[in-house]
Amino acid sequence: MEARWPLWLVVALVVACVFFFVLVAAGGLLTPPKASENRILIGAEEPVELSTEGHKEPFEALADVDTGAYYSSMNHDLADKLGIDLDRAKIVTVGTAIGDDQRPLVPVRIKIADKTMTTQATVSERDRLGEKVVLGRRDLGGFLIDPSRERLTSPRSAAK
């Protein structure tokens, strides 16, 4: 006995295929994202400037854009360079790949392209971060992320 597909399923598959090919032909799936008037295009790694209330000079660092992280984060060495007092910081629980971690949460200003934001960032004990910063999704509003590109902006000027 021969198996037959229901007519509604065949029609649905044909419509889906036509829609997909029209979308590809129009460039909707294959063109890289572009910055719009409201969003700044950034890559997977971007230079940023960090500063705090009590620290006069901003500090430049390289930031990894991590949409899997909620909070932005920096390591202890960078927090020390910014003059951040970790003894007064609120402690938050952060979920990581190896389990929950207790981290200080500190106020910091982050400048990426021509956008400066005042936010709260965690301080991590991971030495492998070096002076890098992780930008979490909490601070990525107003940005369009192209993960296939890097260093599209400078904290001293608008996006390239």
Does 5 lie in the same domain as 53?
A: no
Q: How many domains does the chain have?
A: 2
Q: What percent of the chain has pLDDT over 70?
A: 81
User: pLDDT tens digits, residue range 40-56?
Assistant: 899 999 999 999 987 77
Take residue 100 and report the two structure tokens written for it: 């929950």
> Does position 76 have pLDDT exceeding 70, yes or no?
yes
Does 135 lie in the same domain as 79?
A: yes
For residue 101, the enclosing domain spans: 40-146
DSSP state of 160: -
Residue 104 sits in a domain of what CATH number?
A: 2.40.70.10
pLDDT score, position 159: 46
Q: How far apart are CA 16 and CA 8, in angstroms?
A: 12
Q: Please indicate, yes or no, if residue 15 is contained in any of the structural domains.
A: yes
Per-residue pLDDT band for 26 (boundaries 50, 70, 90) equals low
| Segment 12-39 mean pLDDT | 68
| Segment 13-19 mean pLDDT | 79
Does 9 lie in the same domain as 69?
A: no
> Does position 149 have pLDDT exceeding 90, yes or no?
no
User: pLDDT tens digits, residue range 94-136?
Assistant: 887 788 888 999 999 999 988 999 999 999 876 665 558 999 9
Does 64 lie in the same domain as 113?
A: yes
Q: Please indicate, yes or no, if residue 155 is contained in any of the structural domains.
A: no
| N- to C-terminal Cα separation, the chain | 63
| Segment 135-140 mean pLDDT | 92
SS3 content of the chain, % helix, strand, coil (to 5): 20, 40, 40
pLDDT score, position 158: 46
Does 120 lie in the same domain as 85?
A: yes
Does 65 lie in the same domain as 115?
A: yes
pLDDT score, position 101: 83
Arithmetic mean of pLDDT over the chain? 82
Model's pTM, two decimal places?
0.70
Does 59 lie in the same domain as 24?
A: no
Q: Please indicate, yes or no, if residue 142 is contained in any of the structural domains.
A: yes
Q: List the beta bridge partners of residue 106.
A: 121
> Does position 88 have pLDDT exceeding 60, yes or no?
yes
